[in-house]
Structure 1
Amino acid sequence: MTIRVPIEETPFRLTFGTEAIIPVEVGLTSFRVKTYEDQKNQQERNSNLNLIDEVKEEAMKRMAKHKEAMARYYNRKVRVRRFNTRDLVLRKVSQGTMDSSQGKLGPA
């Protein structure tokens, strides 16, 4: 029910094509509950369902844009390291790969 930052929509709206109303809002006299009309609500619901594909496309575009921004941020922070042949590197050692004479700094 909360708007997600990457898609700027609620998952409920993307799934069901309409905004949800929380139980607390039903119990209280809110504007949405007070102005509810069955026929008008059905027309709006049909309209929302007709437009849901466009809403989903926009959400996908926003999500791709957010993902690109996150990748740019990450790539700005990465330090490029170049390794040459025969360089010693720290590697993950398991029982199957461990050579007792060279240990974790041995050639791979």
Structure 2
Amino acid sequence: MVLWSYRTTPRKSKKETPFSLTYGTEPMLPMEVAVNTLRVANKDEESNVKDLRINLDILEEKREESGVCQAAYKHATERYYNQRVKEKAFKVGEYVLRKNEASRAQPQGKLGPTWEGPYRVTEANRSGAYLLETMEGRPIPRTWNAWNLKKYFF
């Protein structure tokens, strides 16, 4: 029953049910057959077959339209997310602190330190990855994402 309800519920992104995009028509619920609703009572076999053929003919068009709606929904979601993201960027030579959680250098705990450092940025990639070195000039292995760093002020 859970799968049935999932497949017959319209999705926000596509504005269609997965069932209708697969079979070209809306399903008849089991309750409609058991209770003998108006939809079942007025069923005409010949017109039903004709309607199903028409639905199958426009199924590909319906799928394309659903794909356009889904792309528009994804674009709107991306735009909403990107409005709220604050980009962090560091320049070569700036001092930063590194999240202790990311490096796992010191034991963590409720009262453990959250940040460690300071470190100096030696190289900045366009993708938000940075190479660091200690204050003594010893390089830190691997690159570090900007989300794991924060600016250090003396």
TM-score range, shorter chain: 0.7 to 0.9
- In the TM superposition, structure 1's runs of 4+ consecutive aligned residues that sit over 4 Å from their partners are none
Larger RCO (CA within 8 A; separation ≥ 6): 1
| Structure with larger Rg | 2
1:5-20 to 2 correspondences below 5 Å: 5-20=12-27
Structure 1 residue 92 and structure 2 residue 102: aligned?
yes
Amino acid at match of 2:75: E
The equivalent residue for 1:70 is: 77
Q: Compare the two structures and name the one with the higher strand fraction.
A: 2
Give 5+ residue unaligned stretches, structure 2. 1-7, 107-114, 118-131, 133-139, 141-154
In 1, distance between residues paired with 2:75 and 2:61?
21
In 2: Cα distance, 1:10 partner to 1:54 partner? 15
Q: 1:36 aligns with which of 38, 43, 65?
A: 43
Are residue 27 (structure 1) and residue 34 (structure 2) matched? yes
CA distance in 1, matches of 2:63, 2:40: 27
Q: Which deviates further from its counterpart, 74-83 or 2-11?
A: 74-83
Q: Give the gaps of 5 or more residues in structure 1.
A: none
RMSD value, Cα:
1.9
Report the structure, 1 or 2, having the larger helix content: 1
Provide the residue aligned with 1:47 in structure 2.
54
The 3-state SS of whatever aligns with 1:87 is strand
Alignment partner of 1:79 out of 86, 93, 117: 86
Identity %: 33
How big is each residue's C-alpha offset from its partner over 1:23-82, in whole Å with a ceiling of 9 and x where there is no partner? 001111322112211111101111111110000000000000000110111011111211
Tell me how far apart the structure 2 counterparts of residues 50 and 10 of structure 1 sit (CA, whole Å): 18
Which stretch of the first structure deviates more once superposed, 22-31 or 39-48?
A: 22-31
Count of matched residue pairs? 101
TM-score where L is the length of structure 2: 0.59
SS of 1:88's equivalent in the other structure is: strand
C-alpha distance in 2, partners of 1:22/1:93? 54
